[in-house]
A and B are shown apart, each in its own frame.
Chain A
């Protein structure tokens, strides 16, 4: 576990109060919550610290607080722990840096989140329709994974 506290020290030394929270939830889970402007720099630093394998990425819609929480889940082959990197962005201008250049494997997950939640990943190479039908109209139908998406038309 020394290694993991060491990571905390390095991160806080380098990024100061851009690290909002660093929590070791259990021996195999760390949650790092950061400010959205610095997410790319922090991610590169984490990659350098051997958090190398992307596992997942996505978003959570906290509609009452007016924010989206974007998360990336990364496994470290050295420490054998899962790190959840989180950041909050405003619901009105949902935009965050894409981490595809750092962890290639998040490409499809970010693409999916862009499509179903309407979060724009800046610098993503391939933001194309993936799961929804070609003629899906966001204006009319909305983003399926947002909390204000209405299920009424689909109820029987």
Chain B
């Protein structure tokens, strides 16, 4: 929304003004962004999270490993299979087992489809926040539909799949999946070209996003940026390449990197990543090995600790898992990408002059997800 409906304004000393955006506000999500402004210029941003804190880390300590997958997934509804994968990867590393190749390929397909579903949402909101493209959010919402249908065909659910389990996946590809998926890829690739044309190369969009919220690569590293926001600042870092999991080690794909570090670059990285995701899905479908889709795993996980990570749509999602040898984890520390990215938003006014009108664009360019930060 281009018009900020201000929930509460508070005047401070020295001509400063504090504006609370949220928690019930079109752009804010389930949190509050407290912006202190000096006239038009943003003086300080404070992101107040915690409105939807469910204590997932504590919940997991009281569930068996398999049961834990379901509450864990509630962290990011748009991107559940990545959350699932991060947890399962940690468990598998502690167990010292690997899923069979066919399961790895099916995992790759579902992960990349989830990335597309998540990125379309992020881009739709970014376009909408500039105020120029009210219809764009409808486009992206409509265009992700084929992938939601594929998800439903494969897992039985449009959201929250709980499909990846320790030792493999829950089910094999249904008949007709490959053909339908190839059709969806073809359709979506055309749509991405249209997005590039109508939106990314549109002067109106560039005016609002180029040069907004520039994060140099040194700062991105220092502040611990995650995912597309890190790559938009020119840091070549992608967990899929750095520490391959699922079938990423066997597939041929590039990493999308931009150097400008502004809101436009963050959008551009996401668009490119969707092109790459389509390639990955296509490769995985064509090179799908045959064989079993899961192996049996023991209920109890040997004692030890592991830090395992995956590249979720919002960035690196890390799970630090401590096991004491029982069938429940002793401690699970989830380091969520949005939690790290909110810190960037807070730090930005310290290095750059930001206009208040740019706050929605800036905020949406980070692809924030409050539920993810809250856990």
Partners in one complex: yes
Chain B residues 296 to 327 lying within 8 A of chain A, measured CB to CB, are 307, 309, 316, 318, 320, 322
Q: Are A130 and B320 in contact, with the CB atoms below 8 A?
A: no
Q: Are B58 and A103 in contact, with the CB atoms below 8 A?
A: no
Q: Are B58 and A58 in contact, with the CB atoms below 8 A?
A: no
Contact of A54 among B224, B309, B330, B342 (CB under 8 A): B224
Looking at the assembled complex, report how far the CB atom of A113 sits from the nearest CB atom of chain B, in whole angstroms. Answer: 9
Looking at the assembled complex, report how far the CB atom of B55 sits from the nearest CB atom of chain A, in whole angstroms. Answer: 6
Contact of A56 among B53, B322, B331, B335 (CB under 8 A): B335
Q: Is the interface of B mostly helix, strand, loop or mixed?
A: mixed
Looking at the assembled complex, report how far the CB atom of B371 sits from the nearest CB atom of chain A, in whole angstroms. Answer: 12
Q: Which residues of B contact A129 (CB under 8 A)?
A: 50
Q: Is A94 an interface residue (CB 8 A)?
A: no
Q: Which residues of B contact A29 (CB under 8 A)?
A: 307
Interface size class of A (residues with CB under 8 A): 20 to 34
Q: Are A145 and B318 in contact, with the CB atoms below 8 A?
A: no
Residue on A with the closest CB to B243? A28
Q: Is the interface of A mostly helix, strand, loop or mixed?
A: mixed
Q: Is A151 an interface residue (CB 8 A)?
A: yes
Instruction: Give Cα A151–Cα B309 distance, bound, in whole angstroms.
Output: 29
Q: Which residues of A contact B320 (CB under 8 A)?
A: 56, 58, 71, 73, 84
Count of B residues near A, CB < 8 Å?
Answer: 32
Q: Which residues of A contact B242 (CB under 8 A)?
A: 28, 80
Q: Is B18 an interface residue (CB 8 A)?
A: no
Instruction: Give Cα A136–Cα B42 distance, bound, in whole angstroms.
Output: 31
Q: A29-B307, A54-B224, A131-B50 are in contact. Are A145 and B57 (CB under 8 A)?
A: yes
Name B residues whose Cβ lies closer than 8 Å to a Cβ of A.
49-50, 53, 55, 57-58, 62, 221-224, 235, 237, 242-243, 307, 309, 316, 318, 320, 322, 330-331, 333, 335, 339-340, 342-343, 347, 374-375
Q: Which 9 A-B pairs have the closest CB atoms?
A: A105-B224, A56-B335, A131-B50, A58-B333, A131-B53, A54-B224, A53-B221, A60-B331, A105-B223
Name A residues whose Cβ lies closer than 8 Å to a Cβ of B.
28-29, 52-56, 58, 60-61, 71, 73, 77, 80, 82, 84, 103-109, 112, 129-133, 144-145, 149, 151
